[in-house]
């Protein structure tokens, strides 16, 4: 087992395919495949499950990857300290529902990284894809929410995929509206107040289940409903159509300006936001730093962290 083989495995996981990893590593695909097979023969188990749709880590492979990342990180620190080599290229990948605080923390992570070279990835994506990304280790961390409606379904999926949910905070539901919306200055709103306004939500693709909705109260009937795929479009439509969406109440003026207001929604519900990770994997230093930045940002918004 060599350090180069460990780097190969990490790159394959980051890319999601052997072909793409071979291109990034500037070696041929057969050479990379042979290196993986030699390592699998040496350790006595398959690191990857090969299917017509591609490759995914095996259960043993996921555990192996955690150790491989630690070894490669420590080797980089040794080289930097004793061989006067520049710091290795920093890597970190996060998948998240569409939360401004997750982006704030990501910005802070990059600013504080102090690295001349890095390759960080932030995927604002669908709920099911977040779980798949973390399951297959395309991302080290996923950020999503649970509430009384979706809890059993989400927790079942996490158990089946060997993922653990770590609570960050619990929030009362709010709506986001344009600052020009007639509801913007209300102390709170009810569902009845909203019935004539367009409702905006993030579409969930082929996994369009009520349980995967990013917005609570997904089963409530709306006369006017619009599905979007990204946060910028949603905010533009909030302004252009006087629509609303439901979220945690955290809106970032730094990222979104002063055009969006948060108003409490008077319902008996709550939103518990947390991060998920593979329980067999020790987080990289960059992922650990992201969690710390995430907690710091949440506290800046005046929310209490869940211990």
- Report pLDDT digits (tens) over 147-197: 999 999 999 999 988 899 999 999 999 999 999 999 999 999 999 999 999
Report the candidate in 186, 179, 249, 192 with the shortest Cα–Cα distance to residue 216: 249
Positions of the chain with pLDDT under 70? 77, 80-90, 253-257, 307
Domain positions in the chain: 1-88, 170-270
Question: Cβ-count burial of 115 within 10 angstroms (0-12 exposed, 13-18 middle, 19+ buried)?
Answer: middle
> Rounded to whole angstroms, how far apart are CA atoms 247 and 148?
15
- Report pLDDT digits (tens) over 234-251: 999 999 999 999 999 888
Structure pTM?
0.75
In the prediction, which pLDDT does 82 show? 65
Q: How far is CA 165 from CA 267, 274, 276, in A?
A: 25, 6, 5
> Rounded to whole angstroms, how far apart are CA atoms 81 and 85?
7
In the prediction, which pLDDT does 77 show? 66
In the prediction, which pLDDT does 202 show? 94
In the prediction, which pLDDT does 208 show? 81
Q: Locate the DSSP E strands across 172-210.
A: 174-178, 199-202
DSSP 44: T
In the prediction, which pLDDT does 95 show? 95
Q: How far is CA 268 from CA 173, 200, 231, in A?
A: 9, 21, 26
DSSP 279: T
Q: Which CATH class is domain 170-270?
A: alpha beta
Q: Which CATH class is domain 1-88?
A: mainly alpha
For the chain, the farthest-separated pair of C-alpha atoms sits apart, in whole angstroms, at 67
In the prediction, which pLDDT does 135 show? 86
Q: How far is CA 159 from CA 129, 202, 218, in A?
A: 16, 25, 24
In the prediction, which pLDDT does 73 show? 76
- The tokens describing 24, both together, are 């990034």
């Amino acid at each position: 087992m060599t350090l180069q083989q460990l780097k190969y495995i990490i790159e394959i996981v980051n890319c999601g395919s052997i072909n793409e990893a071979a291109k990034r590593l500037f070696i041929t695909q057969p050479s990379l495949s042979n290196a993986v097979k030699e390592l699998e023969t040496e350790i006595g188990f398959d690191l990857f499950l090969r299917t017509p749709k591609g490759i995914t880590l095996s259960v043993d492979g996921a555990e192996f990857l955690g150790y491989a990342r630690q070894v490669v990180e420590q080797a980089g620190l040794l080289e930097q300290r004793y061989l006067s080599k520049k710091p290795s290229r920093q890597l970190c990948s996060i998948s998240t529902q569409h939360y401004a605080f997750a982006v704030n923390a990501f910005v802070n992570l990059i600013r504080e990284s102090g690295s001349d070279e890095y390759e960080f990835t932030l995927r604002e994506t669908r709920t099911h894809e977040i779980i798949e990304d973390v399951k297959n280790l395309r991302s080290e961390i996923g950020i999503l929410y649970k509430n009384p409606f979706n809890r059993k379904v989400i927790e079942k999926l996490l158990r089946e995929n060997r993922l653990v949910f770590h609570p960050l905070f619990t929030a009362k539901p709010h709506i986001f509206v344009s600052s020009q919306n007639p509801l913007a200055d209300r102390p709170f709103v009810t569902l009845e107040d909203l019935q004539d306004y367009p409702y905006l939500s993030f579409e969930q693709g082929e996994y369009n289940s009520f349980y995967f909705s990013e917005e609570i109260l997904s089963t409530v009937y709306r006369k006017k409903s619009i599905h979007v795929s990204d946060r910028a479009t949603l905010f533009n439509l909030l302004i252009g159509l006087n629509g609303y969406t439901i979220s945690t109440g955290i809106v970032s003026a730094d990222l979104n300006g002063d055009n969006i207001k948060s108003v409490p929604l008077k319902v008996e519900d709550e939103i518990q936001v947390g991060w998920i990770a593979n329980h067999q994997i020790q987080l990289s230093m960059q992922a650990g730093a992201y969690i710390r930045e995430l907690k710091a940002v949440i506290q800046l918004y005046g929310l209490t962290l869940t211990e």
